[in-house]
Amino acid sequence: MNVDENHPVALSLPDVKAAASSLAAEIKKSSELSPALRARLIAVRSALFQLGVYNPILSRLDSATVSRAPIGEIAEELGKVASSL
């Protein structure tokens, strides 16, 4: 998945599922969220929103109004969302 801040992400359902699944696995292996992983996560989350998939745990990645979700919880939830697509 190419991440470009100047263009919206538009992917098919199989592409979003594959991107979310592989990203969840990568995040699970990582002890912290690097800027590159964070950008990919935001792009995948945006693609999920465009498909009508909203997940409150994924929204807590960068929330200013509620406590932020731990990285492990985000990875676990992203994996669940990917498997449900």
User: In the chain, where are the structural domains located?
Assistant: 13-84
**What pLDDT score does 3 carry?**
55
Going from the first residue of the chain to its last (85 residues), give the mean pLDDT of each consecutive group of 10, the final group possibly shorter. 57 90 94 90 91 92 86 94 94
C-alpha distance from residue 1 to each of 17, 68, 73 (Å): 11, 25, 22
**What pLDDT score does 84 carry?**
94
CB atoms under 10 Å from CB of 25, counted, come to 13
**What pLDDT score does 78 carry?**
96
**What pLDDT score does 12 carry?**
85
Whether the Cβ atoms of residue 19 and residue 79 lie closer than 8 Å to each other: no
**Per the confidence metrics, is the pTM higher than 0.85?**
no
